[in-house]
A = this chain, B = another copy of it.
Amino acid sequence: MSNITLAEAFGRAVYPLTGHGKRNVQVLKDVLKNVDGDLDSDFYGKGDLISEFETKLAAYLGKESAVFFPSGTMAQQIALRIWCDRKGVARVAYHPLSHLEIHEEDGLKKLHHIEPILLAERDRLIRLEDVVNLQEEISCLLLELPQREIGGQLPAYEELEQISAYCRDKGIRLHLDGARLFEIVPYYGKSAAEICSLFDSVYVSFYKGIGGIAGAILAGSKDFTSESKVWKRRHGGDLISLYPYILSSDYYFEQRVNKMEQYYEEAKELAKLFNGCHAVSTLPAEPVSNMFHAYFAVPKEVVEPILIEVCEETGVGIAAYLAEREGNRCTYEVSIGERYANVPKDRLREAFKLLDEKLKQIGA
């Protein structure tokens, strides 16, 4: 048995399956290669460099205006704060596994004193009836598309339209956590602007499917984004220069936004390979974007050495980590990017054949 960790094995894999590539300084160097050194920095949210990208993304998202933020954490808290202030109701609703609830150290509560109502059970999507059955008044409903923590699931588009219509009717603002919005465009078969037209405000990220360094866009009406700039200053996010993030967001957006269909098809192919293995399944069973979660019905300490062996014997890096789940299971998140297309198909089949055999051998 090997002495290296799963992360180390994945790091050395000739054919890692997930992601665009290593998160190293080369990612920025590639961006700057063709940028003229004379290009002026943005300056506290102003200047051509930032405003041109904001205008471009506003158009892409079909919104009147857009603001570049250093992070989605900042952008989304601010969006919810604005909607709460306008209605005078400091209450919103979102999924129990929303980024705001589990990854932000309760910033929304501690900084903005907004109370979230957790809608739906943790293991399923928010449905129209959850919204209709809300007992308390809310200012805003946040929907995350796709719902990342349950493998990246999506409601039917018709249900989305129904939720949107219901919220408009009831004076509830609808905010899109579109951290992975670009990634779901192929499945819905709608443009980003069409999807966003169902929402009052939209956040998108540039370091998930796009693979930039960091950064986010918050889009909506002009009065909404103007107000968001004041809060951006308050949060300490109105930096004198955000251009390293803006330039990289733009560069990788141009490179990859039209490859989401390819990533989506590849995710479906890979999910099939997983689902063909003994004791392995994916969530969702068929992906609706470039992402899904792979579940092993075997404990982490059993799967880890198997994945390391498969990696060392075939060069194929399946996972960089495993997270324990109840019922002696383990899981990890698959996110398809540039790397997948570089994996020779015979290697891929060989790796999954070996994985299947090894899982059978241990009597899983």
Interface residues of A (CB under 8 A from B): 22-29, 32, 35-41, 43, 69-75, 77, 104-107, 110-112, 207, 213-214, 230-231, 233-245, 247
Contacts and interface: CB of A to CB of B under 8 A. Distances in A.
B32 A71 contact: no
Contact of A70 (B233, B234, B236): B236
Contacts of A247: 25
B73 A70 contact: no
Contacts of A106: 234
Contact of A73 (B25, B214, B233): B233
B29 A25 contact: no
B38 A24 contact: yes
- A-B pairs, 3 with minimum CB distance: A74-B236, A26-B37, A107-B234
Contacts of A27: 41
29 contacts: A22-B40, A23-B43, A23-B241, A24-B37, A25-B36, A25-B38, A26-B37, A28-B243, A29-B35, A29-B37, A70-B237, A72-B236, A73-B236, A73-B238, A74-B235, A74-B236, A74-B237, A75-B236, A77-B236, A104-B233, A104-B236, A105-B231, A105-B233, A107-B234, A111-B111, A111-B235, A207-B241, A214-B239, A237-B237
Contacts of A24: 37-41
Contacts of A73: 233, 235-236, 238
Contacts of A74: 235-237
A71 B25 contact: no
Copies of this chain in the oligomer: 2
B105 A70 contact: no
B32 A105 contact: no
Given A25-B37, A74-B237, 14 more contacts: A22-B38, A23-B41, A23-B240, A25-B32, A27-B41, A28-B32, A70-B239, A71-B238, A104-B233, A111-B111, A111-B234, A111-B235, A207-B240, A213-B241
A103 B26 CA distance: 35
Nearest to A42: B23
Nearest to A73: B236
A26 B26 CA distance: 17
Nearest to A35: B25
Contact of A28 (B40, B70, B233, B244): B244
A106 B238 CA distance: 14
Contact of A107 (B107, B214, B236): B236
Given A70-B70, A112-B111, A213-B244, A234 B25 contact: no
Contacts of A35: 25, 29
Nearest to A43: B23
Nearest to A245: B244
A216 to B, nearest CB: 9
A242 B38 CA distance: 23
A243 B25 contact: yes
A32 B29 CA distance: 7
Contacts of A36: 25
A349 to B, nearest CB: 31
A297 B241 CA distance: 34
A109 to B, nearest CB: 9
Contacts of A105: 230-231, 233-234
Nearest to A106: B234
Contacts of A38: 22, 24-26
